[in-house]
Amino acid sequence: MNKTLAIARRELSAIFFSPIAYVVLGLFALGATLFFFISFGPSAPAVTRETYFWIVWLLIFLAPAISMRLISDEFRAGTFETLMTSPVSDTQVVIGKWLGAMAFFTVLLTPLLVHVVVLEVTAEPDYGPIITGLLGLLLVGGLYLAIGTLASACTENQIIAFLLTVFVISVLTFMMYFLPQVEGTPVWAKQAMFYMNVNEQFNDFNKGLIDIRNFVYFITGITMFLFLAVKLVESKRWR
């Protein structure tokens, strides 16, 4: 566990030394604030539902920007072999890097706390949906970063890792939204795609609802993609 956390701290430091980190922080703060002021006006209810709805779409591109360098940078810099010969397991490497990215993602969400303060000062917000919405964003971010970790383990090219992550996320969002609307799609297929849609799973959190099936979806997805990343790293170790 200590080794995993050490890798996570190392990865978090590396992220903050990367210029892309500050670009992502700036874009998120700007986008989230714009969404907040557009959705919250004098006659609007003191809720964050619409703001979080748009933020989830923004994460389709920002999360891959965070994760694209996690493992691919080790390939590019020639430090992968050194990392693999150190006394850490492949699982510790993958989970440590994912945790480092998650720590940065948590920092990324801090502007949303400012929005909550604004709501508290100017209105009487319902904290239930706000808290569950933030929890939902953390789970969405965790899933997207797990996908990005796998993509980053596939190639030393960060741009390819970014595009591959965006593609997989798009399958789980855009495609799972539009395909069920195709005429002739079987009911069972529509139900399956509805369940696979990340945004639909997030919507319950955004409404203030807690459903164990939503947790199962995200935890299963995170575990699956991290497991695949571990297996991919293992395969590269013995090449």
Q: How confident is the model at residue 86 (pLDDT cuts 50, 70, 90)?
A: confident
Question: Is residue 1 scored above 70 in pLDDT?
Answer: no
Pick the more confident residue, 90 or 172. Answer: 172
Percent of the chain with pLDDT over 70: 94
> Looking at residue 148, what is its pLDDT?
96
Q: What is the mean pLDDT of the chain?
A: 88
Tell me the two tokens of residue 29: 């703060």
Question: Is residue 182 scored above 80 in pLDDT?
Answer: no
Among 123, 149, 151, 141, residue whose Cα is nearest residue 205: 141
> Looking at residue 189, what is its pLDDT?
82
> Looking at residue 191, what is its pLDDT?
85
For the chain, first and last CA: distance in Å? Answer: 27
Q: What is the pLDDT of residues 104-117, one digit of tens each?
A: 999 999 999 998 88
Query: Model pTM?
Result: 0.92
Q: What is the pLDDT of residues 183-228, one digit of tens each?
A: 777 888 888 888 899 999 999 999 988 889 999 999 999 999 999 9
Say which residues have a Cβ less than 8 Å from residue 28's Cβ, sequence separation at least 6. Answer: 58, 62, 108, 111
Query: Which residue is listed with tokens 């992550």?
Result: 165
Lowest mean pLDDT among 48-57, 86-95, 104-113, 156-165: 86-95
> Looking at residue 45, what is its pLDDT?
64
Q: How many CA atoms lie within 13 A of 235 on its CB side?
A: 9
Task: Check: CB of residue 40 under 8 Å from CB of residue 132.
Answer: no
Q: What is the pLDDT of residues 13-65, one digit of tens each?
A: 988 888 889 999 999 999 998 988 887 765 556 678 889 999 999 999 999 99
> Looking at residue 98, what is its pLDDT?
96
